[in-house]
Structure 1
Amino acid sequence: MKTLLLCCFLLFFNIIPAVLNQCMKDQQLSLLHLKKSLIFDEHPFDSYPTKVLSWNSSTDCCSWLGVTCSTDGRAVGLDLSRESISGGIDNSSSLFNLQHLQSLSLADNRFGYDSSIPSAIGKLTNLRYLNLSNNEYSGKIPIEISLLTRLVVLDISYVQAITSPKFSMLFQNLTELTEVYLDAADLSAQGTQWCQAISSSLPNLEVLSLSNCGLSGPIDQSLSLNFNLYP
């Protein structure tokens, strides 16, 4: 009897982790629809799509490259960086059905000048990390990013041919931000407004990266940060 109970006990605890890590069906379908909709650069010169193309309906999506799941099988992390993606993510994308995402990286892809950052990004309200850096989006940074009130890290550095909205509007609700990367963003037309917006809206800011932003003159006194200068 004791042997039987021990076997049942061990079987129970071997099954539980597998169940907890099992991808939920709606999450897998959304990811597969995303894969189907993506457009890849036909001639990538420095990276090839290796993560997304390996996704397969016959395997659990929590085991897929670039996908991180919670214990209840929901996708909470998605790393699509360096996948040579050139299109296929717009406001209708199934990406925005993944409402539990906490981390999203689309960095270092091939989004062209005919692509813009979808305003539907504002639907992913659980995001804490968002990296859109090193892409060639056009248009404006969508003000809907201001809806991502849980963001801790925002990286929109080296996003070419894109204009920034008033930072007072972009940052107004992002009080949890500790790291902001705006390298190569054109801040010259914003005067001192960007300083005032950051100082008044981002009380927890620890890292602010502004290389190649076209800045000149002194930093406005409203921005009181402890600057670390690197050679």
Structure 2
Amino acid sequence: MRISLLSWLFFYSYIATIFIITAVLVSGECQSHQQELLLGLGKTLNSSLSAKMRNWNQSTDCCSWGGITCDQSGRVIILDLSNQLISGTIDNSSSLFNLQHLQQLNLAYNTLSFSFPCGFDKLSNLSYLNLSNAGFTGQVPAEISSLTNLITLDLSVNLFLRDGRPLKLEKPNLKMLVENLTRLRSLHLDGVKISARGNEWCKWLSSLTNLEELSMSNCNLSGPIEDSLQKLKNLSIIHLDRNNLSAVVPAFLAHLPNLTSLRLSSCGLHGQFPREILQVRMLQSLDVLDNEKLQGSLPEFHHNGSLQNLVLSGTNFSRSLPQSIDKLVNLTRLDLSSCNFSGAIPSSVSNLQQLVYLDLSFNNFTGQIPCFDLFKNLARVDLSYNKLSGKIESFKWEDLPNLTRIDLRHNSLNGNIPSSLVALH
């Protein structure tokens, strides 16, 4: 009995020792010079409103601080101070650029008031860099192009948050920025003013063959969209809205097998929209809003469990809606307003039970309103400015618990308005 007890105590001590060693290896203990660098960074920032930086002090292990992740050796590898209401300056001499083991840096959505600093080339291990709406202004520095390990780069700017002070890609231009970033999978430059002649930006991007996400909304880009972009076979997200592309929609977009989101609103598009794009199996969202010269019609749909968001508002799409529209079983937003659709609204629309937002206003739809009593998620309906007819009270609007707004103006409807609709706006 004594032997077995000693054996048990030895075994317990051994396991406890292994556990302690493992815990130390996993969590790491902050190296002193790493802590000094972080404290130096903190002194240059106004972080009084930051929840993450509240416990940054000399007496605690910096690996336990908010926004900090360390490796097993106690070196800082992730710094995430996004959405922290931080102000102040990060200039070229900032101690931030001496945290040379950083792999991920996120300063998004702060108010750092300084021109874009040039020290990022020292952070050569970065694979993730998110400076979207961080507050930096002026020219994007050439040093960013030396971060050859980058997989994600987000420099997006919302000008409504920036008092009209843009980021620019002039010298260096977009070509110089991306030519060495061949590992990029995600590139977000929304709102960055890009200097490019014509559509040469397409050729510059075509070398990024690993790219999966391309978001360059409101970047002063010109069209047409070149076929060279079809080299980017892995693209799943393409957001080029609010650029003056003045072009037709290229058919090769229908041959990107992983395409999930295509946003080309307010781009001056014209010609015939390739119907095959609407049949891409992985497509979840299509938005071509406000392209008044863009023509097209909806195809016959096969079963599609992917498409959730379909926005064609302000285009010249026409003809009738296909009865097979009910094959879009997960559609939550259908906005076909201000187009030239005609004919009856197909009864199969009633099967789109995931719909939350339905806008068919300003078209030429005729006939009766289909029954909506199965639309348990429906919150907004706009059927105004059509040629619909029939009695209003025959529809079971009271069975729509989430309905907050309905607009049936300027139709040929008759009958009494149900009491359940009176309170809606």
Shared fold (TM-score, shorter chain, > 0.5)? yes
Deviations 1:118-146 (A, max 9, x none): 11011100000000001332221011011
Residue 172 of structure 1: aligned partner: 179
80-89 vs 92-101, which deviates more?
Answer: 80-89
Alignment pair present for 1:23 and 2:30: yes
Q: Which has the larger helix fraction?
A: 1
Deviations 1:163-197 (A, max 9, x none): 11312211121110000001112236443232111
Q: Which residue identity lines up with residue 15 of structure 2 in the other structure?
A: L
1 CA distance for matches of 2:125 and 2:214?
22
Q: Which residue identity lines up with residue 178 of structure 1 in the other structure?
A: R
Alignment pair present for 1:191 and 2:198: yes
Q: 1:220 aligns with which of 213, 216, 226?
A: 226
Helix, strand or coil for the counterpart of 1:5? helix
2 CA distance for matches of 1:84 and 1:178?
28
Q: 1:210 aligns with which of 195, 207, 216?
A: 216
Helix, strand or coil for the counterpart of 1:81? coil
Question: Gaps (5+ residues) in structure 2?
Answer: 1-5, 159-164, 233-255, 263-285, 288-425
The percentage of aligned residue pairs carrying the same residue is: 50
Aligned partners of 1:167 and 1:193 also within 8 Å: no
Structure 1 position 87, deviation (Å) = 2.1
Aligned partners of 1:146 and 1:169 also within 8 Å: yes
Residue 157 of structure 2: aligned partner: 158
Residue 57 of structure 1: aligned partner: 58
- Give the ranges of 4+ consecutive aligned residues of structure 1 lying more than 4 Å apart after TM superposition: none
Residue 45 of structure 1: aligned partner: none
Residue 137 of structure 1: aligned partner: 136
2 CA distance for matches of 1:221 and 1:143?
28
| 1:48-87 paired onto structure 2 within 5 Å | 48-87=49-88
Alignment pair present for 1:9 and 2:8: no
Q: Which has the larger strand fraction?
A: 2
Deviations 1:70-89 (A, max 9, x none): 12211110001122222231
Instruction: Give the structure, 1 or 2, with the largest relative contact order (CA under 8 Å, sep 6 or more).
Output: 1
**What TM-score results when the alignment is normalised by the length of structure 1?**
0.87
Alignment pair present for 1:36 and 2:43: yes
Question: Gaps (5+ residues) in structure 1?
Answer: 43-47
User: Over the residues paired in the alignment, what is the CA RMSD in angstroms?
Assistant: 2.0
Structure 1 position 18, deviation (Å) = 4.0
- Structure number, greater radius of gyration: 2
